[in-house]
Structure 1
Amino acid sequence: MMSCRQYIAPMVFCAQVASSFFDTALQMVVKERCANATDPDSEQKAITNFNMIFNMIFKFMPIVPAILLAKVGDKGYRKVPIFVPLIGYLVSRTLLLLDIVLEWPLQVLYAVPVIHGLCGGFASYWAGVMALVSVCATEDKRSLRIMRTELVYGIAGFIGSLASGHLFNLYTVDLKHGVILSGLSVLFYFFCLIYAAFILRVDNLVLEDRQERREIIGIINQEARDMMNIVLLFASGILYDIAVAGGIEMLAAYVLKDPLNWGATEVGYGNAAGSLLFITSFVGVKFFTRCSVRDESMIMIGMVSFAAGIYFMAFVTTTPLYFLARALTLFALIPMPTIRSLLSKQVKGTSYGITFVLLQLSFKLASLVTTPIYTKIYQAYLDTFPGFVFILSSIFTVLSIIPISIVGCRSARHNGYETIQGN
């Protein structure tokens, strides 16, 4: 039987390197266009207002396209939810390159999330990747396989982010800052598109085989407690995503102001520190799995790790302290892939795509409300305590632990019954 992982990993790696290049380029272009030496607060407000509108469009636009693509994927066309978003990535990233070269107004970049979203966006792309990995893995190895894919994603982000700051500063008489970095991002996405179209192979028999085995083994459990577990897992995931997404979005602006006042190189290193968490989280999953730690427990460990780190971030005033706060979040990326793994064990194989997309879209819908709230709170406390939003993220993280702890209690209660059934 074919293993999908060995074919999908190069594409995931290349796409994330390209994404890291784009993220740094966008962050620095926005900073340069909003520069106002006489009034730093106005610069911060301009940056956060742009980021707020950009992120809200980014989260809203993929909703319908991603659902449609997920349904196509669940019918057996697993490459479609991956291939179509890559088209959106390529076109939207090309727009940033043109904006830098032709010096278009900053507002033109609002078209980037529109194009990206109409093609399904990250919600479709990553849900498609997760669905493909899930149908190629047995239930007992699924958490590790999903985390391994996240590891590839993280290593790529680490390498891309480290290089991105230096590449942004490369320029010639004919090329402006950011042209080389954005051009490489476009080139890498083009490679991913070609790879997905002609090299990525998907064996439909894998889906059919896993589907049949899921129906035979899980037929009794399917009606007993799946729906309650699904609701609790969604609730925990949404609360945790609000905490992480809200905190990280504000962090992008926070590091550009005094006292940190980062440039392109430091921004790249900061993004690399975030990507390094994929590696430490993967090592954590390997270690906890060998110690027979349950999935629910691993999720809570990751959540506590992020809560501690983001709380400490509220009081960061120097670059070394920033990286120390990041170090406290070393297991922060364990929860999301493990939640996806638990969800995949609650539904049939032919529903993986739509389940993962609905999870991803629920994050985006929640963020449509919380993003402007986070932004306005950050702006309100800009002169007094800008790190207050990170304390807010820590509170949301603690709340997200409650639903997953209930799932753990329910699973433990039924564990003995399921073992007899499996035998």
Structure 2
Amino acid sequence: MKGLFLVEPVVALYAFSSFLIYPLVQQYVYRRLWQELTHTPYPISDNASRCADNNNSSSNQSSYHEEVQRQASLFTLYTELFSTIPSLVVTLLLVAYSDRGGRKVTIVMPLIGTLIYTLALLSVSYFELNIYLLIAASFFSSLFGGLGTFLGGCFAYIADLCEDGRQKTLRMAGVDMMIGLLSGVAAISTGYFLRAAGFNWPFITSALCQCLNLLFAIFILEETVTNTNAVISDGSPHRSAMKQMIYGVYYMFARASHKNKTLLVLLILIFISFSFAYVGGSSIMTLYELNKPLCWSEILIGYGTAMSTTMFLASFVVVSAFTYWGVPQLVIVLTGILSVISGMVLLAFAKTTFLMFMVRVPMLLSIMPFPVLRSMTSKIISKSDQGALFACLSFLESLTTNVSTAVFNSVYAATLAWYPGFTFLLSAGLCVIPLLILGAVGLTGLDVAEEVKDQEPLFQGVEDIVEDQNSNHSVLT
């Protein structure tokens, strides 16, 4: 059976299955912590908000509410800390190794890890096990890679298939749009799913979708890298992966011209600084919605998450239009950063359900910088180094995502008592950093990259030199 060169179905099903449980994890932990701290059932109401019920409750329940908020944010912090390092190491190894070992390994391995975590989540929920087992499950699943590994492999897969820079930008933006659309559909259904069937059935549905996705990735998705002989002379795939990581990332920078090297570094700095500010602020939104005075129900959280994901669709449409009209890519990135700043500032002062929904409107273009920056960096790197490039980007993106989530959750726990919206103002303030770097790129004219010719991977030559030196050394001895 002939395979398909389509990674988009894998991304779509991954987004649906992940976002089917992602909004529920924080809610599940929140409810379990409420039961453990208060020794009472979690207050479930058919009203749009639980605040009306909470206002009639005692001051003790209000203090319990703040303590649960604090413990839930710390739980997220611990989860991120224990899963960060393994995920980062695996991301570097697998995505860089994919230049010779094939892209499918970077796609299949994270799918296995996600399935393991989902099954662990189902077990904890069904058997009512200790919720801190989820931290151990997160650590174990991170050994298979994470979202950064998966997306790094998918973007490298697309880069292999696209010769034209415009086509590459549109297809990478299309992947982001696919994530937004399917995660939005999943987010809307989570609230009703939870209300009708509890936590277990969404977890089971997600696991089944992930099994289907895994079968598609293994048996139907075609490989784009034809040279999949990853074993070197000593027969050690692990050594080959290490060499691929070290030599690939190093020579990606070493062989570039001075101008391209400077532009590459600046673009990566924009990418990680913007990712830190945006992801960090977004990671607090569910906890903020559960907190007073909003006290959102699971239905409203589902709608809020779904509305947030419409920014993927809006960003794709605007990126496509701007690319068609020939708008400079730096302008597209600038528009996206300003969109995040305006949305985060308004979010810090949103105290009603209507305003909480409306702050999503100015953030509709917030996803635009990611595909554009990936495309810009990909165009100034030779085709043989795409895996090394996206390994580097995925590593840095995963690092900033995990660190920002940990930092913003700890800041939220510390500032919860006096101003819960402070974290959103912090996010908006940190967006100034990528703005300044973007201005430096525009003013110096570095955004016009020099043409890069495709070359054979230099690390292969380095391996030959090392082997020759070893042979000479053995003769002399």
Judge same fold: TM > 0.5, yes or no: yes
The one-letter code matched in structure 1 to 2:366 is: A
Choose from 415, 418, 421 the match for 1:387. 421
Partner of 1:304: 338
Choose from 306, 313, 329 the match for 1:272. 306
Give the 5 Å matches for 1:62-77.
62-77=87-102
Partner of 1:259: 293
Partner of 1:157: 183
- Compare CA radii of gyration and give the structure with the larger one: 2
Instruction: Give 1 or 2: higher helix fraction.
Output: 1
Unmatched 5+ stretches in structure 1: 172-176, 208-220, 419-423
Cα distance between partner residues in 2 of 1:204 and 1:388? 47
Instruction: Report whether the alignment pairs 1:289 with 2:323.
Output: yes
- CA deviation after TM superposition for structure 1 residue 381, in Å: 2.3
Once superposed, what is the RMSD of the aligned Cα atoms? 2.3
Aligned sequence identity (%)? 26
Of stretches 258-267 and 98-107 in structure 1, the one that deviates more from structure 2 is: 258-267
- Is the Cα–Cα contact under 8 Å of residues 295 and 338 in structure 1 kept in the other structure? yes
- Is the Cα–Cα contact under 8 Å of residues 60 and 364 in structure 1 kept in the other structure? no
Once the two structures are superposed, residues 152-195 of structure 1 have per-residue CA deviations (whole angstroms, 9 ceiling, x without a partner) of 11111111111111112222xxxxx2111000010111011000
The one-letter code matched in structure 2 to 1:23 is: Y
Instruction: Report whether the alignment pairs 1:183 with 2:183.
Output: no
Cα distance 1:44–1:411, how it changes in 2: closer, same or farther (>3 A)? same
Of stretches 162-171 and 364-373 in structure 1, the one that deviates more from structure 2 is: 364-373
The one-letter code matched in structure 2 to 1:90 is: L
Once the two structures are superposed, residues 345-397 of structure 1 have per-residue CA deviations (whole angstroms, 9 ceiling, x without a partner) of 12122222222222222233345554444233322321221101101100111
- Is the Cα–Cα contact under 8 Å of residues 161 and 271 in structure 1 kept in the other structure? yes
Give the 5 Å matches for 1:140-289.
140-171=166-197, 177-204=198-225, 222-289=256-323
- Is the Cα–Cα contact under 8 Å of residues 348 and 425 in structure 2 kept in the other structure? yes
Instruction: Report whether the alignment pairs 1:116 with 2:141.
Output: yes
Instruction: Report whether the alignment pairs 1:352 with 2:386.
Output: yes
- CA deviation after TM superposition for structure 1 residue 139, in Å: 1.7
Once the two structures are superposed, residues 85-112 of structure 1 have per-residue CA deviations (whole angstroms, 9 ceiling, x without a partner) of 1111111111001111010011011023
The one-letter code matched in structure 2 to 1:354 is: A
The one-letter code matched in structure 1 to 2:222 is: R
Of stretches 308-317 and 260-269 in structure 1, the one that deviates more from structure 2 is: 260-269
1:384 aligned counterpart, secondary structure = coil
Cα distance 1:246–1:412, how it changes in 2: closer, same or farther (>3 A)? closer
- Is the Cα–Cα contact under 8 Å of residues 143 and 341 in structure 1 kept in the other structure? yes
Once the two structures are superposed, residues 64-103 of structure 1 have per-residue CA deviations (whole angstroms, 9 ceiling, x without a partner) of 1111111321115111110111111111111001111010
Instruction: Report whether the alignment pairs 1:48 with 2:79.
Output: no
- CA deviation after TM superposition for structure 1 residue 149, in Å: 1.3
Cα distance between partner residues in 2 of 1:139 and 1:341? 7
Partner of 2:25: 26
- When normalised by structure 1's length, the TM-score is 0.89
Cα distance between partner residues in 1 of 2:334 and 2:134? 38
Cα distance between partner residues in 2 of 1:73 and 1:281? 29
Cα distance between partner residues in 1 of 2:225 and 2:400? 34
Give the 5 Å matches for 1:52-131.
52-131=77-156
Aligned pair count reads 398
- Is the Cα–Cα contact under 8 Å of residues 139 and 345 in structure 1 kept in the other structure? yes
1:323 aligned counterpart, secondary structure = helix
Partner of 2:350: 316
1:157 aligned counterpart, secondary structure = helix
- CA deviation after TM superposition for structure 1 residue 241, in Å: 1.0
Unmatched 5+ stretches in structure 2: 39-60, 229-254, 452-477
